[in-house]
């Protein structure tokens, strides 16, 4: 057999060999598929068969761009903007620092192409029912359309408590 990679995005394959093909191909591109085409000629000790091709396509893994921790006010949106190198599905879990925080959930979402970037925003409205700042930590995993797992990122949202109106009582 003979193997070719016209796009130059693949490593880990041999250009030729015989017998079983058992190779781990890596895609070196963050945005394009790596395609390796094997031309296989079946043969026995006395007969040569008709060559055929077998194409292996390795999609790139999604990479979540860095996300910065931030502080928001009580009842504002988490507003976690996730961008990635390719169309991506995200799965996240969220962990509140206390039961005084509500509005956070575990969930999923997929990117849409916005301004040339694959983007998705976690827009949960977070409520802090205590008198101290509390946090919600989101752990976000990325997956390609073919369910190849990409990187994982963690972002912490600090939620300030609601502003209380002072009441000194009636004027005397």
Q: Which residues contact 134 (CB under 8 A, 6 or more apart)?
A: 96, 97, 98, 100, 101, 128, 158, 159, 161
- pLDDT value at position 169? 76
Q: Which residues pair with 120 in a beta bridge?
A: 82
Confidence at 45, pLDDT banded by 50, 70, 90 = confident
Query: Distance (Å, rounded) from C-alpha 157 to C-alpha 73?
Result: 10
pLDDT digits (tens, 9 = 90+) for 103-134: 999 999 999 877 778 999 999 999 999 999 99
Please tell me the predicted confidence (pLDDT) of residue 165.
76
- Per-residue model confidence as pLDDT tens digits over 51-82: 999 999 999 999 999 999 999 999 999 999 99
CA–chain centroid gap for 13, Å, is 26
Q: What is the mean pLDDT of residues 36-59?
A: 95
> What whole-number distance in Å separates Cα of residue 8 and Cα of residue 166?
67
Distance separating alpha carbons of residues 171 and 156, to the nearest angstrom? 44
């Amino acid at each position: 057999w003979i193997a070719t990679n016209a796009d130059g995005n693949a490593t880990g394959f041999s250009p030729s060999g015989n017998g079983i093909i058992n190779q781990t191909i890596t895609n070196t591109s963050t945005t394009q598929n790596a395609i390796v085409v094997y031309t296989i000629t079946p043969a026995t000790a006395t007969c040569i068969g008709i060559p055929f091709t077998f194409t292996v396509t390795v999609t790139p893994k999604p990479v979540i761009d860095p996300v910065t921790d931030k502080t928001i006010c009580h009842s504002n949106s988490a507003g976690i903007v996730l961008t990635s190198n390719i169309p991506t599905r995200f799965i996240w879990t969220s962990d509140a620092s206390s039961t005084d925080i509500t509005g956070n959930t575990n969930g999923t979402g997929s990117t849409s192409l916005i301004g040339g970037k694959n983007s998705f925003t976690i827009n949960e409205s977070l409520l802090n029912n205590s008198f101290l700042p509390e946090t919600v930590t989101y752990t976000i995993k990325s997956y390609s359309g073919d369910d190849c797992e990409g990187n994982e990122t963690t972002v912490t949202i600090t939620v300030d408590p609601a502003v209380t109106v002072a009441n000194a009582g009636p004027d005397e």
